[in-house]
A and B are shown apart, each in its own frame.
Chain A
Amino acid sequence: MTRPLLQISGLSVRFGGLTAVDRLDLTVEAGAIHGLIGPNGAGKTTAFNLIAGAVRRSAGEIRLDGAPVEGLPPYARVRRGLARTFQNIRLFGEMTALENILAGMHTRLKGSLFEILLRPDKTRRVERDAVTEARALLDFVGLAAVARRRAGELSYGDQRRVEIARALAAAPKLLLLDEPAAGMNPAETRALSELLQRVKARGVTVLLVEHDMGLVMRLCDKITVLNFGRKIAEGAPREIRADRQVIEAYLGAESAHALASP
C-alpha cells in the first residue's frame, strides 16, 4: 500500500527572477488521492505542469514508478503512465464525446501505418474493440447517453467528465487533475467527488490540484500545502486542518472557521 508512485525531489523552476517552485519534495503513494493546495500564485499549477511535462524544470528530479521522466515531452509521459486534465477544459470540441475518448486511447491502440493501409480488416477489428472500451469508459463517468454528441456542445460539468474519461482512456498509473471542481455548482462537485472515489477504486492514483477545500478535505488521503513555491505543510486532512501554520500563514481566519465546520 505504501509504494511510492511519484517521487519528486529538490524540484525548482525559475522564471527570470521569480522562483515559482522552490526545492519541492513530494511523494505520492500508489493508490492514494493526493491533494496539492495553496493560495493563488503558490506554485500549484506550475508544479502540476512540471510533472505533466508542459514546463521544464530548472533543477531537481521527477520519478514515476522509479524511472526519471524529466526531459520527456508531455506525449512521452503519457506512455509512461501519466495522464492529465486541464484547468480550462481542453476537449476536441468538433469531435463527439466518444471520439474524444478514442483519441485518449491513442497510445494503446495497435496498428502501424502499414497495417492500416494493407490490413483494413485488422484495423476494423481494432477500432471496433476500441469503441466498445470507449463506451464503457463513458458509461463509467455516467455519460453513455451523450456518446454521439459533439463534445463542444455538452454542458460544462459533462465536459469535465469527458475530459477525465479521456485521461483515463490512456490507462494511466497517475491521473493529474488541475482544479476539476472549478466552476462547478455544489451538486456537480458532489458528483465529481463520488466519481473520483470510483477512479481510486479502479486502482488509479490521483494527484489533485484544487481550490475547493470541502472537496479536498473529504476526498484526499494526504494533502501537501504550498505557499510561495515552497511546501509549508503535509499530512492527512485532519492534520492539515489543525496545522496552525497553514491556518494562519495561508488560509487566514475566515477559512479557518470554515474548516472547523466542514
Chain B
Amino acid sequence: MAQIDDFLWTYQNLLASLGVNGLLALSMYVVLAIGQLSLGQAAFMGLGAYASALLTLKLDAPFPAVIAASMLVPAAVALVIGAPTLRLSGVYLALATVSLGEILRVVLVESDLTGGALGLSGIPEKAGLPLIFACLALALVAFTLICRSRIGRAMEAIREDEIAASASGIDLPAYKMAALVASAMLAGLAGALNAHISSFISPNEYGFDAAVTILSFALLGGIGSPFGPVIGAFILTLLPELLRPLHDYRLVVNGLIIVFAVLFMPHGLLVWPIGRIGAKA
C-alpha cells in the first residue's frame, strides 16, 4: 500500500492531467463526430475553470454547485455562438470558436476580477483523482451508449452527408447545437476539475496552443469510437514525460509523431468503429 501511495503522490499531477485531457478529448470528439470543427475547446475549458474558481474563491459556493456552474456557463456561451454559425456549413464554427478564445484571453488578462495576467491562485484542492476518473468513466459509458443507439447512427450520418441525413429526417440544427453544447459542458467540467486540483489557473493555459493540442488528441486517436480520442489524449500526455531525457528536442519528436499519425493513419490509432446493437447479427 505504501508503494501505491508513493506512486500516487509522485505522479498525482500527471495522473490528473490524464483524466482532464481525457475529458477534453471527449469534448472534442462530440463535435468532430457530427463533422464539425471547433477550435474553442480550450476557451470553453477556460470559461469553466474561471467560473468555478471565482465561485469557490469569492463566494465560497458549495462544490457541487461550482461544478454545475462550470458546465452551464460554457453551455450558455456555446448557445450564443452556435445559433448564428451552425446554420452555415464549412469553417464558420471553427472561425467563431477561434475568435472566442482570443476574446476570452483578452478579457481575462484585462479584468481585475480574474486576476489579470497573473491568474487566480490558492484555489482549494476539492477535486481529487477519484472524482476526475469517475467523471471520465461516466462520460465514456454515456458516449458508448449513445454511439450504439439511433442517436449515434444519426451523428455518423450527419458526418457522412448532411443533405442525405436531412432527407432521412434527421434534425440537423438540433443535433449540431446539442453536440456543441455537450462539448462545451464537458470542456467546462474539465476546466473546473483542473482548477480545483492544480490550485492555480492563468489565461495562458486556454489559448490557441491548447485548442490545437486538444484537437490533436482526437486526430491521433481517431473518431471511430469515443475511446480513440481518450487513448490519443493519454499518449500525448504521457509522451512528453517519456521523452524527458531528450530535453528540448522532445517537442520536436512530439510534433513529428502527430504529423506521421495524420499522414499515415488518417483514421487515427483506434481504427475499429464501435459496434452498434444488432449490427453484427
Contacts and interface: CB of A to CB of B under 8 A. Distances in A.
Contacts, number: 109
A103 B277 contact: no
Contact of B161 (A52, A79, A90, A124): A90
Interface in A107-131: 107, 109, 111, 113, 116-117, 120, 123-124, 126-128, 130-131
Contacts of B278: 127-128, 130-131
Dominant secondary structure of chain A at its interface with chain B = helix
A84 interface: yes
Given A109-B150, A127-B149, A127-B277, A86 B164 contact: yes
Interface residues of A, number: 42
A144 to B, nearest CB: 13
A117 B156 CA distance: 18
Contacts of B167: 52, 74-75, 78, 83-84, 86, 90, 167
A93 interface: yes
B277 A90 contact: no
Contacts of B163: 54, 74, 86, 90
A116 B164 contact: no
Q: How large is the interface on B (under 10, 10 to 19, 20 to 34, 35 or more residues)?
A: 20 to 34
A42 B153 CA distance: 37
Contacts of B218: none
B65 interface: no
A205 interface: no
B157 A103 contact: yes
Contacts of A127: 148-150, 276-278
Contacts of A126: 150
A75 B156 contact: no
Contact of A106 (B146, B153, B161, B281): B153
A203 interface: no
Interface of B: 142, 145-146, 148-151, 153-154, 156-157, 160-161, 163-172, 276-279, 281
Given A75-B167, A99-B279, A107-B168, 4 more contacts: A54-B163, A116-B149, A123-B148, A127-B148
Interface of A: 52, 54, 73-76, 78-79, 83-84, 86, 90-96, 98-99, 102-107, 109, 111, 113, 116-117, 120, 123-124, 126-128, 130-131, 166-167, 170
